[in-house]
């Protein structure tokens, strides 16, 4: 009887799966785009509260993990996330103190019968890639009612200057470091994104924000129109603003001609290689980012599959699967991890590293920051009074 029910549910999900894959295939946006839209003037530094996306609300129950709470990693942010409607919560954290790199706190979610991992990712401001990597044993389309999944909200900040916008295509995350107009604690916002697919990789470069638009029109180039036509999808020369525009409702233009950070007309696809090189975000996220960053904000696009960092004297390693690119074979990831760890400990040569754990982390590629080493604890000198 249980097998029959599972088969029935799997059959009922098949049309949904096929539709999702079809939508992902049709929603890619070219790196040769032309757009028009309402220019937004006077972008403010303080991010606006994102609008609720009713399509992503659900019945998943969320709780923080005891391990992270015990290690003291952003408990306040975890509590805020647990209390808020996940559709309204964008993970953001105070910048770590100098010498520290870990932000966020993982949580767990217990799923409903109708949930898929794509649903859960959209609901909790996660990309499908990090959720899939963190839960490799969970069926992506039939997790099952009551299944508990890990929400990977903890991350090491990339090894690059913490300013403006930093995009790490390897983990498909965008980090925004707002600039404060007055003295105060700086913070970092962490957004999931989609990046360029295999033959249309997102360029690795340093650029800047050059403009923004609300309700942009999309002018697909002839090459993309031919690509869609080959699939039986006839694109018009101009796709006007609206629910069928793959650019979504907001867009940031960059110093790289025809590359954008933009929204989407689809709920699915964030955390996947599905674009023609642009950076795609959830609609509520790009709206917040567009209103938060001024023109000339620096944008750094990197590809760090291996990240190392510190938290209170403990050394962490975070490994992400390599992107599917034209050169799909990435050799020597263990060597890359070893070099990164050596670099991270150059000022702390007495650091103890668990190399067996390092090997496990490199093999698993869960994308989760994992404790692999620790600096020696400072010894206290006891001074005796000779009198």
Q: Give 23-37 pLDDT, tens digit per residue.
A: 444 444 444 455 555
Q: Which residues are registered as beta bridge partners of 361?
A: none
CATH 3.90.480.20 fits 26-301, yes or no: no
pLDDT digits (tens, 9 = 90+) for 37-57: 554 433 322 222 333 333 333
- The pLDDT, as a whole number, for residue 36 is 55
| Residue 211 DSSP SS3 | strand
Q: Where are the domains of the chain?
A: 26-301, 306-374
Q: Which residues are registered as beta bridge partners of 110?
A: 61, 148
- Confidence tier at 381 by pLDDT (50, 70, 90): low
Tell whether pTM > 0.85: no
Higher pLDDT, 245 or 361: 361
- The pLDDT, as a whole number, for residue 330 is 52
- The pLDDT, as a whole number, for residue 325 is 66
Alpha carbon 99 to chain centroid distance? 23
Catalytic residue set: 262, 278
Q: Which residues are registered as beta bridge partners of 105?
A: none
Q: How far apart are CA 322 and CA 362, in angstroms?
A: 11
Q: How far apart are CA 162 and CA 158, in angstroms?
A: 8
* Over residues 294-319, mean pLDDT: 97
Alpha carbon 249 to chain centroid distance? 20
Q: How far apart are CA 170 and CA 301, in angstroms?
A: 10
Q: How far apart are CA 98 and CA 294, in angstroms?
A: 26
pLDDT digits (tens, 9 = 90+) for 84-120: 444 456 788 999 999 999 999 999 999 999 999 999 9
- The pLDDT, as a whole number, for residue 204 is 94
Q: How far apart are CA 48 and CA 263, in angstroms?
A: 16
Q: Are strands 195-196 and 273-275 parallel, antiparallel or unpaired?
A: parallel
**What DSSP letter does each residue of 167-191 carry, written as one string?**
EETTTTEEEEEPPPSSSS--EEEEE
- The pLDDT, as a whole number, for residue 237 is 84
Residue 129 has pLDDT above 80, yes or no: yes
- The pLDDT, as a whole number, for residue 258 is 82
């Amino acid at each position: 009887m249980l097998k029959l029910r599972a088969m029935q549910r799997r059959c009922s999900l098949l049309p949904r799966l096929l539709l999702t894959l079809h939508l992902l295939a049709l929603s890619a946006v070219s790196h040769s785009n032309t757009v028009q839209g309402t220019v937004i003037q006077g972008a403010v530094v303080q991010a606006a509260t994102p609008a609720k996306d009713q399509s992503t609300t659900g019945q998943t129950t969320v709780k923080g993990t005891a391990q992270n709470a015990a290690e003291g990693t952003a408990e306040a942010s975890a509590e805020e996330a647990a209390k808020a409607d996940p559709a309204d919560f964008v993970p953001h954290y105070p910048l770590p103190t100098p010498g520290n790199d870990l932000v966020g706190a993982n949580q767990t979610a217990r799923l409903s019968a109708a949930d898929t991992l794509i649903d859960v990712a959209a609901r909790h401001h996660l990309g499908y890639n990090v959720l899939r990597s963190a839960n490799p044993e969970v069926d992506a389309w039939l997790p099952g009612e009551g299944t508990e999944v890990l929400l990977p909200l903890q991350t090491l900040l990339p090894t690059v200057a913490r300013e403006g916008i930093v995009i790490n295509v390897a983990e498909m995350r965008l980090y925004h470091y707002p600039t404060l107009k007055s003295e105060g604690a700086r913070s970092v916002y962490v957004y999931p994104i989609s990046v360029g697919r295999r033959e249309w990789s997102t360029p690795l470069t340093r650029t800047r924000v050059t403009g923004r638009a609300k309700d942009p029109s999309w002018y697909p180039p002839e090459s993309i129109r031919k690509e869609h036509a080959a699939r039986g999808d006839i694109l018009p020369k101009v796709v006007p603003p609206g629910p069928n525009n793959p650019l979504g409702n907001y867009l940031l233009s960059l110093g790289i001609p025809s590359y954008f950070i933009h929204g989407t007309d689809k709920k699915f696809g964030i955390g996947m290689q599905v674009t023609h090189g642009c950076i795609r975000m959830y609609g509520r996220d790009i709206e917040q980012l567009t209103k938060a960053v001024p023109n000339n904000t620096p944008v750094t696009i990197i590809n760090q599959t291996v990240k190392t960092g510190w938290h209170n004297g403990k050394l962490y390693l975070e490994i992400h699967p390599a992107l599917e690119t034209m050169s799909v074979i990435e050799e020597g990831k263990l060597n890359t991890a070893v070099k990164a760890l050596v670099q991270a400990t150059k000022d702390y040569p007495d650091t103890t590293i668990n190399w067996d754990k390092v090997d496990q982390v490199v093999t698993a590629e869960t994308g989760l920051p994992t404790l692999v080493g620790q600096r020696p604890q400072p010894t206290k000198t006891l001074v005796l009074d000779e009198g």
